[in-house]
Amino acid sequence: MIKQGYRLMIVFCVLFQSTFAQQPDIKKVFSDAEKQSMLMINTINNKKTNRLTFPRSLDKDSLKLVPSGDWTSGFWPGILWLEYEQSQKPELKEYAETFTRLMEKEQWNTDSHDVGFKIYCSYGNALRLTGIENENYKAIIIQAAKTLCKRFNPVTGCIKSWNSTSKWKYPVIIDNMMNLELLFAATRFSNDSSFYKVAVSHANTTLKNHFRSDHSSYHVVDYDTITGNVIQKNTAQGYADESAWARGQAWGLYGFTMCYRETKNIVYLKQAEDIAAFILDNPDLPDDKIPYWDYNVPDKIQEPRDASAAAITASALYELSNYSTNKKKYREAAGKILESLTRNYRSAANTNGGFILNHSTGHKPAKSEIDVPIIYADYYYLEALLRSKKK
């Protein structure tokens, strides 16, 4: 009898664990995240200058603030909007609005493709969550899309990510897929199909030139602006030109999933599914589903993870699950990533300067932001949690 009770207890524990494995306690995680954000607001208020306002990471335990021109600036207002979405607390909306307004001049910033990240994570969420209340937000999104399109060249068929360097003439990075969401939104708000055409051209050119036969992607593809031909394929943030930089794979997955949502082009869905297979079936993906910073780095055990790549992947998989016949597989995979992040990669309360997750890697080759909290990991983690609630 005792033996049977013991067996039942084990069965119960296993069942409980596997159920829990798919379901972080979202209410509790968001309530903890909010407390972290309040801690961060205090630190920002004590530290900020006129120029440095947006949290990006920790540098030797000290909060690293960046100006609105930094590519990561939009994630902080985005986080506040996502926390508002969950809690509906007016004070969170006020904070979100305050930091969103500080992004306004970025609609005109032609310096890089990052205007998409900056304006869509801030104003995109603002518009989504406040709706008609703020027609002005639509105008800002449309202007930002016009700014982004200034970097499009019909000869290359894509948007130039970074300005030219001694190494690259017309560098386009896989991350740039993320900026297309702004263009699709601007098309809806303006009825101007030129944004849509630029987005589709960029996606098609990336599809053609960025991917290897195993569906992993190069980080940087450089184009000749006279012929439109590819000059070289390299990496900037990955381990090697021929390696698979972890966050790059996540940007590609998220980007092509979003392009399918916006166009219903089955080719993009297939691409997203192929990228998902590269990530999920990868023998170099650790058991806890949080990748090392690059899938091909040798001596992995010594190498840092990239929680941001995992968070972006989880969020993308939830969206992909809505369009794919592999719904169950993708939801389960996303659930495992979220469970792992929640259980083993979250900051303890009142630590890490208010960041939610730890153990991301920004730019290992440049020895920058290695195994630290980074703001975009937190953004996509919260987005993934919210997406997990929608069946």
Q: What is the DSSP string of 343-365?
A: HHSBPPTT-GGG-SB--B-SBTT
Q: How far is the CB of 315 from ligand GLY (least distance, A)?
A: 14
Q: Which is nearer to ligand GLY, 121 or 142 (CB)?
A: 121
Q: Which is nearer to ligand GLY, 118 or 146 (CB)?
A: 118
Q: Which is nearer to ligand GLY, 247 or 289 (CB)?
A: 247
Q: How far is the CB of 229 from ligand GLY (least distance, A)?
A: 25
List residues with catalytic annotation. 114, 175
> Taking Cα atoms as reference points, which of 272, 292, 74 lies closest to residue 177?
272
Size of the site for ligand GLY (CB under 6 A): 5
**Contact partners, residue 291, CB within 8 Å, separation at least 6:** 246, 279, 282, 284, 285, 305, 306, 309, 310
Place of tokens 């944004």: 195
**What single DSSP character describes residue 262?**
H
Q: Which helix (H) or strand (E) holds 22?
A: helix 2-22
CB atoms within 10 A of CB 247: 29
Based on the shown chain and the rule CB under 6 A, indicate whether residue 70 belongs to the binding site for ligand GLY.
no
Q: Which is nearer to ligand GLY, 95 or 170 (CB)?
A: 170
Q: How far is the CB of 376 from ligand GLY (least distance, A)?
A: 7
Q: Which two tokens stand for residue 238?
A: 């990955």
Q: Which two tokens stand for residue 179?
A: 């900026």
Binding mask 100-139 for ligand GLY (x = CB under 6 A): ----------------------------------------
Give strand pairing partners of 221. Answer: 172, 233
Place of tokens 């979405």: 85
- Given candidates 175, 306, 319, 339, which one binds ligand GLY under the rule CB under 6 A? 175
Nearest residue (beta carbon) to ligand GLY: 175
Q: How far is the CB of 249 from ligand GLY (least distance, A)?
A: 11
Site for ligand GLY in 239-278 (CB under 6 A): 247
Question: Which spans of this chain sit near ligand GLY (rule: CB under 6 A)?
Answer: 71, 175, 237, 247, 362
